[in-house]
Amino acid sequence: MDTNRRTVLKAGAAAAAMGAPHVARAQTKPARQVRFVPHGDLRVLDPIWTTANMSAYHGAMIYDTLFGVDVNMRPQPQMVQTHTVSDNRLTHTFVLRDGLKWHDGTPVTARDCVASIRRWQAKDGAGQHLFERVTDTPVVDDRTFRIVLKEPYGLVLDALAKTSTPLCFMMKAEIAATDPGTQITKHIGSGPFRFVEGEYRPGSRVVYERNPDYVPRGEPASGIAGGKRVLLDRVVWDIIPDAQTAASALMSGEIEFFEVPPIDILPALGAAPGVKIEVFNQLGNVGYCRLNHLHPPFNNVLARRAAQLAISQEDFLRAAIGNAQYYKTCGSNFTCGSPMGVEDGAEVLMMGAPMAQRQARARQLLKEAGYNNEPIVVLHATDIHIMNQAALVIAQNLRQVGMNVQLAASDWGGVVTRRSNQNPPAQGGWNVFFTWGGGNATSSPINLFGHAATGRKAWFGWPENARHEQLRNEWAAAADVAARRKVAQAMNRNMLEYVHDVKLGQWVAPVAYRSDRIRGLLPVPEVVPFWNVERFA
């Protein structure tokens, strides 16, 4: 065979072409990286300053907690090595694990922890409830501090371990000294991952890398407790606002984990090779219809009871969630399926009765309330599917029993603003709005601010009920789960009587991930942990 320039070039091109796949394979050898599409954008990097869930996710990546709840929602030590309580149950002593370090290499001290707890409690409902009973938080030595109470309190560890926002994250003392109303500007934690600030692109990308100094506990990971073994070098959060695009990216392998795929896309995702659909957060979400207790007609308990009967959980769930596999009706104010998920008193909801019967009773109650056809303003967020459906269903349900409903349409930002207005509806206020919360947070009468019934100081809707507040205090003081459950039964009955708000059922949000590439995802309500997660292909 003649060898000339052309044949040499051809041979070279052929060799290059043959070699190319090998090069490509070498480059695509599983990097220890996971690309994750969360439900929203990380806008605020201070998980105490805001109660936004995305900030809590960020916090769980880079900060650690003194305690964490396990898969059974029981508090377990995390940064703490030993915890002791004095005989009179007034002094809790905490000793930190040895060898804990901040990301800048300095040791974690008891002083840091006390400063962090104090900043957290200023912003957190459970923390404030705890600190109403705290007299002092002395630092004993570098690894030991105390919380001293004026009366026994059963929820000290629960408050420190909770996963509902804001979590009690530990920060360096000088950072935790930042006024709680001001955002922190340094993001140094002691958690399993470090925040890569140089690659942070708000609205687009957040990057974390493994913290090589992190020493996990010896126990297996469970909930946000146990050993946080870091098996990844990098975790990249891709903020993809369009759900269809995120689903396509998962199917094509451009991402590994999609947190909240819409229910209607699930069949297509489930059929894609290598993609697995799974429900991690079994407590899911709870829908709330908040009634404004300050103004007519819902300042009258009879009108509230009428609304409670008129609004159908089933109608809402069918319209907003659609697939019955993922939703259920519930007569508890504390999340069905949770330890406090009692349904005592739920017979007033007449959930088993035909809708016509419930509506007849609602009309009667409305008449007794003296309802005079005054307009009922329902806040209607049109830019979020569930919110939009909820407002339309609630409006129709209320109209069906004779209420004069006016939908006030805006985007969610508009609803968030207007819902805080305590003026009468005609002066910029409102009568009804819908939102939802995590089932885990809802399960605790203390952790969820929405459970307070302290009038104008309570959450939007401003319910006021002295007995409810007394029961909440009893619940917090109860020594164990059984005792708390007993109080919860009374509380649920009372809440349904005075109609704290109208619950709209529960639903779960499945996640979708590439089971042909990653494993070890942990089922934790309200936080997405990346420790224990392994990239194997």
Partner 1 sequence: MIAYVIRRLLATIPVMAIVGVFVFLLLHLAPGDPAAIIAGDNATEENIAAIRTRLGLDRPLIEQFGSWVWAIAHGDLGVSMFSNLPVTTLVLQRAQPTISLTVTTLLVAVTIAITIGVLAAWKAGTLVDRVVMGFAVLGFSVPVFVVGYLLVYVFALQLRWLPVQGYVPIEQGLWPWARNLILPSLALGLAYVALIARITRASMLEVLAEDYIRTAHAKGVATVPVLLRHALKNAAVPIVTVIGIGVALLISGVVITESVFNIPGVGRLVVDAIARRDYPIIQGVMILFAGVYVLVNLCVDIVYTFLDPRIRY
Binding test (CB under 8 A) with partner 1, winner from 32, 33, 39, 44: 44
How far, in Å, CA of 237 to CA of 227, rounded?
23
CB 259 within 8 A of CB 36: yes
The two three-digit tokens of residue 91, written as one number: 């002094």
Alpha carbons 140 and 148: distance in angstroms, whole number: 12
Identify the residue among 416, 477, 478, 481 touching partner 1 (CB under 8 A): 416
| Closer Cβ to partner 1, 40 or 227, answer by number | 40
Number of C-beta neighbours around residue 372 at 10 A:
8
- Interaction of residue 165 with partner 1, rule CB under 8 A: yes
Stretches 110-118, 131-139, 446-454, 466-474: which one binds partner 1 (CB under 8 A)? Answer: 446-454
Tell me the window of 140-148, 177-185, 289-297, 364-372 that interacts with partner 1 (CB under 8 A).
177-185
What is the SS3 string spanning 239-295? CCCCHHHHHHHHHHCCCCEECCCCHHHHHHHHHCCCEEEECCCCCCEEEEEEECCCC
Nearer to partner 1, 105 or 198 (CB): 198
User: Which is nearer to partner 1, 110 or 512 (by Cβ)?
Assistant: 512
Q: What does the per-residue mask of binding to partner 1 show for 99-138, with x meaning CB under 8 A?
A: ------------------------x-x-------------
Note whether 406 binds partner 1 by CB under 8 A. no
% helix / strand / coil in the chain, to the nearest 5? 35, 20, 45
User: For residue 37, which phi and psi values (nearest 5 degrees)?
Assistant: -110, 105
Q: What angle do CA 265, 268, 270 make, to 5 degrees?
A: 100
Per the DSSP assignment, residues forming a β-bridge with 502 are 289
Q: What is the DSSP string of 337-393?
A: TSTT---TTGGGG-TTS-HHHHHHHHHHHHHHTT----EEEEEEE-SSHHHHHHHHH
Q: Under rule CB under 8 A, how many of the chain's residues touch partner 1?
A: 55
Distance CA 211, CA 117 (A): 23
Binding residue for partner 1, selected from 3, 88, 185, 427, defined by CB under 8 A: 185
Provide, rounded to whole angstroms, the least separation between the CB of residue 448 and partner 1: 7
Instruction: List the one residue from 141, 151, 174, 383 that touches partner 1 (CB under 8 A).
Output: 383
- How many Å apart are CA 59 and CA 533, to the nearest integer? 17
Length of the chain: 537
Q: What is the CA radius of gyration of the chain?
A: 26
Which of 43, 150, 186, 367 is close enough to bind partner 1 by CB under 8 A?
43
Binding status of residue 410 toward partner 1 by CB under 8 A: yes
Q: Which of 38, 77, 297, 450 binds partner 1 (CB under 8 A)?
A: 450
Closest to partner 1 by CB, 102 vs 436, is 436
- As measured in angstroms, the least distance from the Cβ of 151 to partner 1 is 23
Q: Is 464 in the site for partner 1 (CB under 8 A)?
A: no
| Segment lying near partner 1 (by CB under 8 A), choices 141-149, 346-354, 449-457, 518-526 | 449-457
Copy the structure tokens of residue 298. 């819902």
Site string for partner 1, 187-206 (x = CB under 8 A): --------------xxxxx-
Q: How far apart are CA 433 and CA 407, in angstroms?
A: 10
Which listed residue (420, 426, 466, 479) binds partner 1 by CB under 8 A? 420
Query: 448: closest CA among 158, 33, 57, 98?
Result: 158
The gap from C-alpha 135 to its chain's centroid, in whole angstroms, comes to 30
Residue span 218-257 as binding mask against partner 1, x where in contact by CB under 8 A, dash where not: --------------------x-xxx-xxx-xx-xx-x---
| Least Cβ distance, residue 289 to partner 1 (angstroms) | 15
Residue with token string 């916090």 = 59
Q: What residue has token string 């885990």?
A: 440
* Cβ distance to partner 1 smaller for residue 100 or 117: 117
* Start-to-end CA span in the chain (Å): 45
Residue with tokens 């000339």: 4
The yes or no reply on residue 448 touching partner 1 (CB under 8 A) is yes
Interface of this chain with partner 1, residues 268 to 297, rule: CB under 8 A: none
Q: Looking at 13-21, 26-34, 178-186, 326-334, which segment touches partner 1 (CB under 8 A)?
A: 178-186
Which of 126, 130, 134 shows the shortest CA–CA distance to 150? 134
Options 411, 426, 466, 536; binder of partner 1; rule CB under 8 A? 411
Task: Report in angstroms the alpha-carbon separations of 459 from 55, 293, 462.
Answer: 21, 11, 6
The stretch near partner 1 (CB under 8 A) out of 41-49, 86-94, 223-231, 334-342 is 41-49
Q: Does 164 bind partner 1 (CB under 8 A)?
A: yes
* Interacting residue with partner 1 among 264, 413, 423, 479 (CB under 8 A): 413
Least distance in Å: CB of 41 to partner 1?
7
Q: By CB under 8 A, name the binding residues for partner 1.
A: 41, 43-45, 49-53, 55, 123, 125, 164-166, 180-183, 185, 201-205, 238, 240-242, 244-246, 248-249, 251-252, 254, 383, 410-414, 416-418, 420, 435, 437, 441, 448-450, 457, 459
